[in-house]
């Protein structure tokens, strides 16, 4: 398998999951502005959407969209416990969380990174994020991870997008349970490996 990524982007989520699953994979960095891979390929030939993450599956198939990719990875390593079994109520609860993260948090962050987004709209987005962070904080008051006591692919995704707060000067102090959750996930060895591999942490 090969993961196409951009450092610190949402592709960090499947990168973490690949390491947590213990699977063999290759990484190829993408310049999202130029739409060119580090190897010089036109990225739009790999993904016409021009977005990461993309995973190239052995045999030549390509899969896009983070929530789909992380479930594929988890199903390739069922012993990892990164996703509940297909067809179970817990699997649908996992998908519920993945949908919430992608639709309510990830997409709310997106305009904050665009220089042409009006300041007034940026404040609206930050107000919405405050509501979603408060919801997460309440949930995490009684849960170690989103689905309970086990780390899943939803936690990897949540960790990445909530982590974007530091780039937007959003303080997590008002959400102590969420802040502790992010710190707990950041300390995981495989998360540390992924962060270092993307140049987001200094190698030890």
Give the model confidence (pLDDT) of 1-22 as tens digits.
999 999 999 999 999 999 999 9
Mean pLDDT (the chain, rounded): 97
Would you state the torsion angle of the CA atoms of residues 118, 121, 125, 130, taken in this order, to the nearest 10 degrees?
Answer: 110
The pTM assigned to this predicted structure is 0.96
When the candidates are 1.20.1050.10, 3.30.1490.100, 1.10.10.10, 3.90.226.10, the CATH number that belongs to 89-188 is 1.20.1050.10
The pLDDT, as a whole number, for residue 201 is: 86
What b/e sequence results for 121-146 when a residue is b if at least 16 CB atoms lie within 10 Å of its CB, and e otherwise? Answer: eeeebbeebeebbeebbeebeeeebb
> With 80 as the cut, is the pLDDT of residue 112 above it?
yes
> Tell me: the pLDDT tens digits for 30-60?
999 999 999 999 999 999 999 999 999 978 8
Q: What is the CATH number of domain 2-80+190-197?
A: 3.40.30.10
Angle at 56 between CA 50 and CA 59, to 5 degrees: 140
The residues of the chain that CATH labels 1.20.1050.10 are: 89-188
CB atoms < 10 A from the CB of 87, how many? 8
The pLDDT, as a whole number, for residue 60 is: 84
Alpha-carbon gap, residue 85 to 66, rounded angstroms: 19
53 prior amide bond cis, ω within 30: yes
Q: How confident is the model at residue 204 (pLDDT cuts 50, 70, 90)?
A: very low
Q: pLDDT above 70 covers what percent of the chain? A: 99
Task: Kindly state the average pLDDT of the residues 176-181.
Answer: 98
Secondary structure string (H, E, C) spanning 21-41: HCCCCEEEEEECCCCEECCCC
Alpha-carbon gap, residue 76 to 162, rounded angstroms: 26
The residues of the chain that CATH labels 3.40.30.10 are: 2-80+190-197
The pLDDT, as a whole number, for residue 59 is: 83
């Amino acid at each position: 398998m090969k993961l196409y990524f951009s450092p610190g982007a949402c592709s960090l989520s499947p990168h973490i999951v690949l390491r947590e699953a213990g699977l063999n994979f290759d990484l190829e960095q993408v310049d999202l502005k130029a739409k060119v891979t580090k190897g010089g390929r036109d990225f739009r030939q790999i993904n016409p959407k021009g977005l990461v993450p993309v995973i190239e599956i052995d045999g030549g198939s390509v899969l896009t969209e983070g929530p789909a990719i992380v479930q594929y990875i988890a199903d390739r390593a069922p012993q990892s416990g990164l996703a509940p079994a297909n067809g179970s109520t817990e699997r649908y609860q996992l998908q519920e969380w993945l949908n919430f993260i992608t639709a309510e948090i990830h997409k709310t962050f997106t305009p904050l990174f665009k220089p042409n987004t009006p300041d007034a709209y940026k404040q609206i987005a930050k107000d919405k994020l405050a509501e979603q962070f408060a919801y997460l904080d309440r949930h995490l008051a009684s849960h170690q991870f989103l689905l309970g006591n086990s780390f899943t692919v939803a936690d990897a995704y949540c960790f990445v997008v909530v982590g974007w707060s530091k780039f937007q000067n959003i303080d997590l102090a008002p959400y102590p349970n969420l802040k502790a959750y992010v710190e707990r996930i950041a300390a995981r060895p495989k998360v540390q490996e992924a962060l270092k591999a993307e140049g987001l942490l200094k190698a030890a």
